[in-house]
Amino acid sequence: MGHRTRTGSTAMSSTTTFSAQPLVATDVTRVLGGRTVLDGIDLLVSPGQRVGLVGENGTGKSTLLRLLAGVDRPDAGSISRPPDLAHLPQEPPFDDDADVAQVLADALAPLHAVVRDVERLGELIARDPGDDRTATAYADALARAEAHDAWDAGRRAEEAAERLGVAGLPPGRLVGTLSGGQRTRLAAAVIITQRPWCLLLDEPTNHLDDDAMELVEDTCTSLPGVVVAASHDRVFLDRVCTHLVDLDPAALGTDGEGGRRFGGGFTDYLVHRAAARRRWEETFVEQQEEIGRLRRATRVDTSTVAHGRGPTDNDKFITKFKGARVDRTHARRVRDAEQRLAVAEREQVRRPPPPLHLHASLTGGTGGTALAISVRGLVVAGRVRVDAVDVPTGGRLLVTGANGSGKSSLLAVVDGRLRPDAGAVQVSARDVATLRQDVVFADGSRSAARTYVDLLGRERAEAVPLRGLGLLPPASHATPVDDLSVGQRRRLALALLVARAPDLLLLDEPTNHLSPTLATELEEALGSAVGTVVVASHDRWLRRRWDDAVLLL
């Protein structure tokens, strides 16, 4: 893509021959901060395959995508990638001083260039049909133009900009002034315009409304090449992916035989994963029972062999002979048990780690008033308009709507960050906590545990320890915040909120960046929250299961 977000940009040059190459990673290992994030990963994605990367936050999905894209280098192993490759990270690294019009123009430039090449070379062939060199160059340019559907690039760019909600951005607006969601949608528009052969996506549906998500899904399923996507979006994984690769460590793997790959969508994978976990637990118990039996066998003494056969007065020679035979039998049995024990200990699966589960109650008390929130005639010019909405104390409200309809702005008005131009907003809750879309910590060098204590206060942090919430694995507590994955930082932000046990909890796209497992647990926790909860979300899986009040903006 343009402005450092694209790799393999030489694929559109006239000297590169288009070829349908797979994406191959062999025995890839990556160590970050002294921790092995990826260990011996193998991945083969052939043209036409769409692979979804799944796993808990921090298991290396984004790291693997950066390695596949060539942004980072593996510490061991090798990667072979197609030359025409685009990478959409969670935080697109555009040049902040580029403007919106320049970014979109740069996306179209190579496509327009290859169309001009086809036309120019076609004219040369018409003049001299026997020029083999020109004919080869023409065939190459034509193949690249057809692969990228270059003649339709202009219309595609307009549609992408419109459906992704970036068409209304001022052309001269600098990228550095855009929100995280706007930057992501702009980057997605660039990729859809270019139609690369190999597409690497990191949480591609974050910040997208239904129409935009449908466009991204249609783009992925229509590409003839390779697609690899790390996603928390359970509907996207079901609709788009032909295979899933699970990066969560498991002794028996995703397939029960040590492999990580599963052929099918997310719904079937959930059933398969639960069965694989049961097999792992059962195998561990069976192996430990066998190891215990073998260890006992190595401690058998001679008194248990030929028990009750003491010597008699007249048979000392026979007794000595039998005793030697007993000793040999004992030694042979012990050696056999020791050998079998060594094999069993070497081949035993590791103990299944306890799954990370959300144990927190999302809110505290309900307060004494009947209404937690009352909105009348709310207007924030150019951002949001709400005629009337009431949220009862202890109630739950889902706010949904297209990009730009004002969901985040409404939450900002409720929690006092944004002043309305007109109307009245009354909030009776005593303690209001908000999970914002863009999580930023002032000091990223501090560990997650230190940040938790500093921001929450020592007394509250001791009363509600981070370890007990089930949101961040203990192994990550000592990790500097800047070294956490985006999803782990969002987990930490959520932990800080629920530890306060607020009366009113405002959640802006709460499932963004979270693993599917935690997203599901969070949805379940929303249903049992004692206090008042307002959720702004595009998440289709969440919305399908929501059975409380809904405000459509």
pLDDT at position 6: 42
Look-up of token digits 């590169």: 16
If DSSP codes are grouped into helix, strand and coil, which group holds residue 513? coil
Does the structure show a pLDDT above 60 at 512?
yes
CATH 3.40.50.300 matches 371-552: yes
The average pLDDT across 314-331 equals 61
Handedness of CA 282, 285, 291, 292 (dihedral sign): negative
pLDDT at position 2: 37
- Same CATH topology for 6-249 and 371-552: the answer is yes
Q: What is the DSSP string of 297-360?
A: HHT--GGGSSTT----TT-HHHHHHHHHHHHHHHHHHHHHHHHHHHHHHHHPPPPPPPP-----
CATH 2.20.25.90 matches 6-249: no
Edge-to-edge strands of the sheet including 35-45? 35-45, 23-32, 76-80
b/e map 406-429, b = 16+ CB within 10 Å: bbbbbbbbbbeebebeebebebbb
pLDDT at position 306: 47
Q: Cα dihedral angle (260, 264, 266, 271), rounded to 10 degrees?
A: -80
The average pLDDT across 99-105 equals 88
Select the more confidently predicted residue: 8 or 94: 94
Give the residue from 148, 154, 121 showing the smallest Cα distance to 15.
121
Edge-to-edge strands of the sheet including 261-263? 6-7, 85-88, 198-202, 226-230, 50-54, 243-246, 261-263
Does the structure show a pLDDT above 70 at 364?
no
| Residue-level length of the chain | 553
Residue 111 neighbours by CB under 8 Å, 6+ apart: 12, 145, 148, 150, 153, 193, 194
377: left (phi over 0), alpha (psi -120 to 50) or beta: left
Does the structure show a pLDDT above 90 at 33?
no
Phi, psi of 94 (to 5 degrees): -65, 160
Confidence band, pLDDT 50/70/90 cuts, at residue 127: confident
Q: Which of 345-359, 396-410, 436-450, 470-484 has the lowest mean pLDDT?
A: 345-359
Q: What is the DSSP string of 207-253?
A: T--HHHHHHHHHHHHH-SSEEEEE---HHHHHHH-SEEEE-S--TT-
Look-up of token digits 């402005």: 3
pLDDT in tens, 220-247: 999 989 999 999 888 899 999 999 998 8
If DSSP codes are grouped into helix, strand and coil, which group holds residue 476? helix
Handedness of CA 484, 486, 491, 497 (dihedral sign): positive
pLDDT in tens, 369-417: 788 899 999 999 988 899 999 999 888 999 998 888 889 999 999 999 9
Look-up of token digits 């855009």: 178
Taking the C-alpha atoms of residue 384 and residue 407, their distance in angstroms, rounded to an integer, is 8
pLDDT at position 295: 82
Spell out the domain ranges in the chain: 6-249, 270-298+318-352, 371-552
Does the structure show a pLDDT above 50 at 4?
no
Does the structure show a pLDDT above 70 at 95?
yes
pTM over 0.95, yes/no? no
User: Please, what is the average pLDDT of the chain?
Assistant: 83
Q: Hey, how many other C-beta atoms are within 10 angstroms of the C-beta on 309?
A: 11
The average pLDDT across 324-341 equals 74
Does the structure show a pLDDT above 60 at 18?
no
Which percentage of the chain shows pLDDT scores above 90? 27
Give the residue from 376, 387, 393, 391 showing the smallest Cα distance to 530.
393
Does the structure show a pLDDT above 90 at 261?
no
Confidence band, pLDDT 50/70/90 cuts, at residue 518: confident
pLDDT at position 454: 93
Taking the C-alpha atoms of residue 524 and residue 547, their distance in angstroms, rounded to an integer, is 12
Confidence band, pLDDT 50/70/90 cuts, at residue 1: very low
Beta strands in 56-154 (DSSP E): 76-80, 85-88
Give the residue from 360, 430, 429, 431 showing the smallest Cα distance to 393.
429
Does the structure show a pLDDT above 50 at 303?
no
pLDDT in tens, 282-299: 777 887 888 888 888 777
